Structure 1
Amino acid sequence: MNLKHLRYFVKVAELGSFTAAAEQLHLAQPAVSMAIQKLEQTLEISLFHRHDRQISLTDEGRELLMHARRVLMAAEEAELAMQELSGLKRGEVRIGIPGMLGSYYFPPILMAFRHRYPDLQISVIEAGTRKLQQMLLSGEIDIGVIVEDSAASELEVCPFLREEMMVVMADDHPLASCERISPQDFFAQELVLFKEGYFHREVINRLLKETGLQPHIGFETNLIPLIKQIVKQGFGISTLLQMVIRDEPALVARPFEQPVLLDLSLAWRKGGYLSRANRTFIEFLADQIRQ
C-alpha cells in the first residue's frame, strides 16, 4: 500500500468529503478521488459508500481506518527518528496541559526549559485530562498531563505533582469562617464548575459518587478568570488549587473535611517513539521536581 494514498484515505474518512479533504491537502479533488480508487483497486474492496454527494465508510473502510492511523503514526515516528540521527531537524516538544496548571504551574518551567534549550520548539495544547489522553493515543501530542489514577493502560506515566483541591469562596462568604468544609455544606451552595473532562470536574464527580449528594450548579466554564470573578461577587463557590488564588486577597481557600488529593503525571504512549526533545523535557521536569 502507498503511504500517500493512506494519508488521503484517512483525511477523506475524517472529514467525510473528498472536496474538503482535497482542500486541506492542497490538492485537486480529482487527484484525491483517483488515489482512493487506486487504493480500493489494490485492496480489491470498496472503502466508501457513495450516494449523491454524501459518502460514508463501508465496514472494510472502518477497519482500514483503524490500521491506517497506526501505520501513518509509525511512519511519522520512524521519519522523525531518522531526522534526529542525521541532524536534519531541530527538536519539538508537543505537550498537552490542563488550563489550571498551564496558567499557574507550568509557565516558569516552560520558560526555564526554553532558556536552557533555545533551539527547541515548544507547542502547548490546552485541554482537559480526558481529551489529552485521547490526543496522546492518537499521536496528536507527544506528552500530556493527566490524573494518574485515570491513566489508560496504553500510557506510560511519570508522577510529578501532588496537590490538594481546595474549596474557594469570597472572603465574606459564611463558610469562610470554617477551618474545613464538609461535602454536605459544599454541595448545598451554588457552585461554579469546570465542564466535564477536566480534573477539576472529575474531583467533584468523585465526591458526588462517594456521598450520593446532588449539586447545585450555577455556572459551568473553563475560564479561570471568570470563575474567580463569579466567586468574588458571591454568586457561587468552587474548587481550585491553592496556587490559583495565591495573589487574590478577596478569595479564601479551605480544605475539605477529608483532604481531596490530586496526583498528576506526565504521560506518553507505551512503545511510542519519544524524540530527544521530548525525552529532554521529561528529564528537565524531573530535575525541577528534585530541586
Structure 2
Amino acid sequence: MTEDQLRYFVTIVDTGSYIEAALELNIVQSSISKQIQALENELGIQLFNRQHRRIELTDEGKQLLPQARQLLEGFYRLKYMAQKLQPRYKNRITVISLPFIGYFGLYVPINQFKLKNPSFKINIIELEEPQLFRRLLSNSFDIALTYWHEQNLANSKNIFIPISTDEIVLAVNKDDSLAQLKHVTTEQLKNTPLMLMESYTCVANLCKTFFEEHSIVPNIIFRGRPETIFSCVQANQGAAALITRKQASSYLANNVVLIPITPNIPAILGAVINKHSQKNLKVKELVNMLIGRNIK
C-alpha cells in the first residue's frame, strides 16, 4: 500500500470519476486504474462497484474510506514535520493555493517578499480544491490561499484573513438574448440553462448556497473546469456559465459578456494561516504584503 494508491482512491471518490481524478492529479487514467487494482489486490476486497456507469463505492470501500483519508492526512503531516526538522526549514514558508494566483496578481507581493527576504524560500504548491482541503485538515502548510468556503473553514482553528473580493457572474455569448441585460435576477436564473464548475469546487458550493437561499432549482446542463465552460460560452453552445469575474476576465474573449447577478454572489479570497504558524513573524509579514496588494 502506497501514498499514491491512497491518494488515487480518495481523489476518485472526491471527484466522482477516474477521468476527473486523472485530470486533477495530472496523470493518465490507465495509471490510476492499475494502482487501484493493485490496492484492491493487496487488500483482498473490491473498493468500487464497476457494474454501474457512475463511480460507486462498495460497502467495503465505504467502510475503508475514512481510514484511507486518515492515513493520507498522516502522510502529509509526516512529510511536513520532516521538512520542519531540516536545518534550514526556519527560512521556508509553504504556501498552498488554488490555481488562481495569477488572476489576482499575487505573485507580485510574493516576489517582493523574496526580494526583501533573500534568505527565505517560498514553496508554492498549486492544488485543486479536494487536495487543498485535505492539506488543510493535515495542517501541512503555513499559508493557504483559497476562497472562503464555510464547510471547510468555519470550524477550523486556523485563521482566515480576507485578501480580496471577487464575485460570481453570468458569462453569456454576445449573441445570447441575455447579453443586453445590465444584471440578471434570480427569476431569470431559474429559466436559464447553466454550466457550472464541478460540485466539489468552492465556486460550485457558493452557487449551491445561493440557489438554496433563493429557492432556485437550477437547470445545470453541464459541469466542467472554468476554461471548459468558458470555451462553451465562446462557442455559443446555448447555455450560460457561472464563473468568477477574475477567472473569466483572464480568458480575454471579445464575444463573451459578463453580467452581474442581483443579489450578487461574493467570492472572498483569503489567506488561511495555519494555527501552528500564527506566531511566525515572517508568515505574518507575507500575509500583510498580500493584503497590502489590495486588489479589487
| Structure 1 residue 195 displacement after superposition | 0.7
- The answer to whether residue 145 in structure 2 is matched with residue 145 in structure 1 is yes
> TM-score, with normalisation over the residues of structure 2?
0.64
> TM-score, with normalisation over the residues of structure 1?
0.64
Contact 2:143 2:283 in 1 (8 A): yes
How far, CA to CA, are the matches of 1:161 and 1:193 in structure 2?
22
In structure 1, what is the equivalent of residue 101 of structure 2?
102
- The answer to whether residue 229 in structure 2 is matched with residue 230 in structure 1 is no
Contact 2:96 2:145 in 1 (8 A): yes
Contact 2:3 2:72 in 1 (8 A): no
Contact 1:192 1:238 in 2 (8 A): yes
In structure 2, what is the equivalent of residue 26 of structure 1?
none
What does 1:139-178 align with in structure 2 at a 5 Å threshold? 139-148=139-148, 150=150, 151=153, 152-178=155-181
- The answer to whether residue 285 in structure 2 is matched with residue 283 in structure 1 is no
How far, CA to CA, are the matches of 1:276 and 1:270 in structure 2?
13
Q: Cα 1:264–1:273, aligned 2, differ >3 Å: closer, same or farther?
A: closer
- Considering only CA atoms, is the larger Rg found in Structure 1 or Structure 2? 1
Contact 1:147 1:265 in 2 (8 A): yes
In structure 2, what is the equivalent of residue 262 of structure 1?
267
How far, CA to CA, are the matches of 1:95 and 1:211 in structure 2?
36
What does 1:196-275 align with in structure 2 at a 5 Å threshold? 196-222=199-225, 224-235=226-237, 236-246=239-249, 247-272=252-277
| Structure 1 residue 172 displacement after superposition | 1.9
Amino acid at match of 2:231: Q
Aligned alpha-carbon RMSD (Å): 3.8
Contact 1:160 1:289 in 2 (8 A): yes
How far, CA to CA, are the matches of 1:93 and 1:65 in structure 2?
24
Report sequence identity in percent: 13
| Structure 1 residue 185 displacement after superposition | 1.8
How far, CA to CA, are the matches of 2:210 and 2:76 in structure 1?
37
In structure 1, what is the equivalent of residue 16 of structure 2?
none
In structure 2, what is the equivalent of residue 42 of structure 1?
none
Q: Cα 1:210–1:55, aligned 2, differ >3 Å: closer, same or farther?
A: same
| Structure 1 residue 230 displacement after superposition | 0.8
Contact 1:195 1:221 in 2 (8 A): yes
Q: Cα 1:290–1:252, aligned 2, differ >3 Å: closer, same or farther?
A: closer
Q: Cα 1:15–1:220, aligned 2, differ >3 Å: closer, same or farther?
A: closer
Q: Cα 1:274–1:76, aligned 2, differ >3 Å: closer, same or farther?
A: farther
Which deviations, in whole Å up to 9, do the C-alpha atoms of 1:237-279 show, x marking residues without a partner?
A: 1122323343332221111121222222211332457766544
| Structure 1 residue 219 displacement after superposition | 2.4
What does 1:12-51 align with in structure 2 at a 5 Å threshold? none
Which runs of no fewer than 5 residues in structure 1 stay unpaired?
A: 1-10, 17-51
Contact 2:96 2:141 in 1 (8 A): yes
Between the two proteins, the alignment pairs up a number of residues equal to 234
How far, CA to CA, are the matches of 1:290 and 1:200 in structure 2?
19
Which deviations, in whole Å up to 9, do the C-alpha atoms of 1:184-206 show, x marking residues without a partner?
A: 32242222211122221112211
How far, CA to CA, are the matches of 2:103 and 2:227 in structure 1?
12
Amino acid at match of 1:96: I
In structure 1, what is the equivalent of residue 13 of structure 2?
none
Which deviations, in whole Å up to 9, do the C-alpha atoms of 1:48-99 show, x marking residues without a partner?
A: xxxx95489xx9xx6x96997798479547625xx3xxxx357333222223
In structure 2, what is the equivalent of residue 124 of structure 1?
125
Amino acid at match of 2:183: R
Contact 2:163 2:294 in 1 (8 A): yes
Contact 2:149 2:202 in 1 (8 A): no
Q: Cα 1:66–1:113, aligned 2, differ >3 Å: closer, same or farther?
A: closer
| Structure 1 residue 231 displacement after superposition | 0.8
